[in-house]
Chains A and B, each alone.
Chain A
Amino acid sequence: MNRRLFLKSSGLALVAGGFVPRVFVRMASAETAPGGRVLVAVFLRGAVDGLNVVVPWGEDAYYAGRPTIAVPRPGSTAGAALDLDGFFGLHPSLAPLHALYREGAAAFVHAAGSPDPSRSHFDAQDFMESGTPGSRTTRDGFLARALTASPRRGESPVRAAALTRSMPRILAGADGAVAIDRLERYGLRGSGDAGALEAMYAGSAAEPLRASARESFEALRVLEAAAPSRIAADNGAQYPPGELGRSLRQIAQLIRSGVGLEVAFADATGWDTHAGQGASNGQLANRLRDLALAIAAFTRDLGSRMSDVTLVTMSEFGRTARENGNRGTDHGHGNAMILVGGGIRGGRVYGRWPGLSRDRLYEQRDLAVTTDFRDVFAEILTARMRVPAAGMTAVFPGYAARERLGLIA
Chain B
Amino acid sequence: MRTRSSLPVLGLLTGSLVFLAAAGADRLSERERAIHALDRLAFGPRPGDVDRVAAMGTDRWIDAQLHPERVAEDPTLEARLPGRDVLSLSTAELIERFDTPVREARKKAAAEAAEKARAGDAPETGGGDDTGAAARVRAMVPPENRPGRLLADLTAARIVRAADSSRQLQEVLVDFWMNHFNVYARKGLDRVAIVAFERDTIRPRIFGRFEDLLLATAKSPAMLVYLDNARSAAEASNRPPVRGRGAFAGAGAKTKGPTGLNENYARELLELHTMGVDGGYTQSDVTELARVLTGWSVGAPRTERTGGVVRASRRSPEALAAPGEFVFRERLHDVGEKTVLGRRFPAGGGMGEGEAAIRMLARNPSTARHLARELCQRLVSDAPPEALVERVAARFLATNGDLREIVRAVVESPEFFDPAAFRAKVKSPFEYAVSAVRALGSETDGRGIARAIEEMGEPLYLCVPPTGYPEAAEDWTSSGALLARMNFALSATRGAIPGTSAPALAPPDGGDLLGALEGKIVPAGLSEASRDAIRSRLSQAPSDPAAKRALTEALLVGSPEFQRQ
Contacts and interface: CB of A to CB of B under 8 A. Distances in A.
A326 B483 contact: no
Contacts of B539: 1
Contacts of A196: 533-534, 536-537, 555
B478 A166 contact: yes
Tell which of A46, A122, A178, A199 has the most Cβ of chain B within 10 Å. A122
Given A204-B530, A241-B131, A209 B555 contact: no
A19 B277 CA distance: 53
A393 interface: no
B532 A165 contact: no
B563 interface: yes
Contacts of B400: none
Given A1-B539, A199-B532, A204-B530, A122 B560 contact: no
Nearest to A117: B283
B490 A167 contact: no
Interface in A203-251: 203-210, 212-213, 215-216, 219-220, 240-242, 245
Contact of B262 (A172, A202, A328): A328
A98 interface: no
Contact of B526 (A119, A193, A199, A204): A204
A5 B483 contact: no
A186 interface: yes
Given A204-B526, A206-B12, A210-B560, A326 B262 contact: yes
Contact of A216 (B7, B271, B483, B561): B483
A241 B235 CA distance: 40
Interface in A185-200: 185-190, 193, 195-197, 199-200
Contacts of A139: 5, 7-8
B457 A165 contact: yes
A126 B233 CA distance: 31
A166 B476 CA distance: 6
A175 B507 CA distance: 44
B487 interface: yes
B8 A207 contact: yes
B362 interface: no
B333 to A, nearest CB: 13
Contacts of B7: 137, 139
A166 B259 contact: no
Contact of B228 (A220, A241, A275): A275
Nearest to B476: A166
A286 B559 CA distance: 44
A148 B289 CA distance: 45
B16 interface: yes
Contacts of B526: 204
A101 to B, nearest CB: 19
B464 interface: yes
Interface in A1-19: 1-2, 5
A330 interface: yes
Most buried by B among A166, A201, A206: A206
B486 interface: yes
Interface string B1-14: 01011111001101
A313 interface: no
A122 B272 CA distance: 10
A205 B15 contact: yes
A324 B260 contact: yes
Contacts of A172: 474
A123 B539 CA distance: 51
Contact of A165 (B259, B473, B474, B481): B481
A37 interface: no
Interface in B457-499: 457, 464-467, 473-483, 486-487, 490-491
A295 B66 CA distance: 53
A167 B478 CA distance: 5
Top 7 nearest A-B pairs by Cβ distance? A206-B15, A325-B260, A203-B529, A207-B11, A204-B527, A205-B560, A196-B537
Given A165-B457, A166-B481, A206-B16, 10 more contacts: A172-B474, A178-B479, A200-B555, A206-B11, A210-B560, A216-B483, A293-B127, A324-B262, A326-B260, A328-B262
13 contacts: A118-B277, A121-B465, A137-B7, A178-B479, A193-B555, A196-B555, A200-B559, A206-B560, A240-B126, A286-B130, A325-B260, A325-B261, A328-B262
